[in-house]
Amino acid sequence: MALEKEERITIPDENGDEHLFEVLFTFDVEQTESTYIAVSPAEPSEDEDVEVFTFRYEEKADEGEDLALYQIESDEEWELVDEKLNALIDQDLN
């Protein structure tokens, strides 16, 4: 299943509680040869700024799950992802 720009996904937290997120972007970073997903809470609190979370992901249709999400662990990877994400946001705003 390919992700669509306005799709919503459910992500469990460390306690197993599921939270609904809106997919903002999916994008590739050539230098890491990986695909990433940027999401924000589907129902943010009115008194908080909207948070954006970014994960490396792989589609896992053959294993019974749609997606496997991975934390971005290194500063080097995060810098590459952040640069690409900011470029996408700037492009989307223009």
Note the pLDDT tens digit of each residue in 18-65: 999 999 888 999 999 999 999 999 887 777 777 889 999 988 766 556
Name the pTM for this structure: 0.78
Residues 88, 25: Cα–Cα separation, whole Å: 8
List all residues 6 or more positions away from 41 whose beta carbon is below 8 Å from its beta carbon. 19, 20, 21, 22, 50, 51
| 27 three-state secondary structure | strand
